[in-house]
Amino acid sequence: MAVFFYGRNQFGFGKEGIAVMKISRPVFRKALIETHYIKGPYGDQLRRIRVLLPKDFDRRKKRRYPVVYLHDGQNLFFDGESFSGRSWGLISLQKKRSIPDLIFVGIDNLGEKRLDEYAPWKLDDESRGGWGDLYGQWLVDQVKPLIDRLYPTLSGPEHSLLAGSSLGGLISAYIGTKYSHIFGSLGIFSLASWVSEGAFLDYVDKNPLAPTTRVYIMVGTQEGHEGEELYSGQDLSRVYIKSSLNYYEFLLDQGQDPDRLCLRVINGGRHNEDFWARHFGEFLVHSFDE
């Protein structure tokens, strides 16, 4: 496989503070994935970032590509790695003719600290959450510039997409709001803004998106499951729908162009990777719809 280390690691620092170990390129059924380890936003831990390159990718050619940045990188490429046993199927999706040639960047989550990282605000009991702003700053200041430097990207906002599901949808909406001059299209799947709904809507209200931003919002009607509902004390199927509707309505109230917004409420849709994978292509089509 191809492995690249950036920042402090067992190899020390190389040129420009970067140490690199490169073995070979992994090919999975004609899919080319390169793996990078970059110093994360907290302490000295290294974060795995994987880059799925387009079909027939060749660095010798002068062609440049749009980039899709996604959270929960462990769930994107291979079923065996995914939390639910079903990935987003990006390798298969990439081969469809209806999907434009893109570079996909999958950023691993922080495991047990995922909630802290993807929640921009502290939760009600103040014991969890609140790391989201640091994560967003790291994504914008470290990850994206690295990708733009190493790969032939189209780096403008109209070619820079950001997407995630559940808490990944929350942090995508937050980062997309704060940095709408950088990310021009957002994919918000099963938005979990309910963990801090008031703070989220207040932030969206006070920080309008760039008028050219495209937003795809998708939610199912059967998002809740018993374990979460016992913990939260809420009917989460209703809560997820309400959070998505609230976000959509706030964007409309801001004056966002309705043609650049897409809201999908899917009958029977459940809170899992299989559901999100089946509709991810719709987000990509919406992002590049003329």
Domains observed in the chain: 41-287 (3.40.50.1820)
pLDDT tops 50 at residue 16: no
Calculate mean pLDDT across residues 42-67: 90
- 223: exposed, middle or buried (Cβ count in 10 Å: 0-12, 13-18, 19+): buried
Distance in Å from the first CA to the final CA of the chain:
38
What pLDDT is stored for residue 80 in this prediction?
78
- The predicted-structure confidence for 120-164, as pLDDT tens digits, reads as follows 999 877 779 899 999 999 999 999 999 999 999 999 999 999 999
pLDDT classification of 27: cutoffs 50, 70, 90: very low
pLDDT tops 50 at residue 23: no
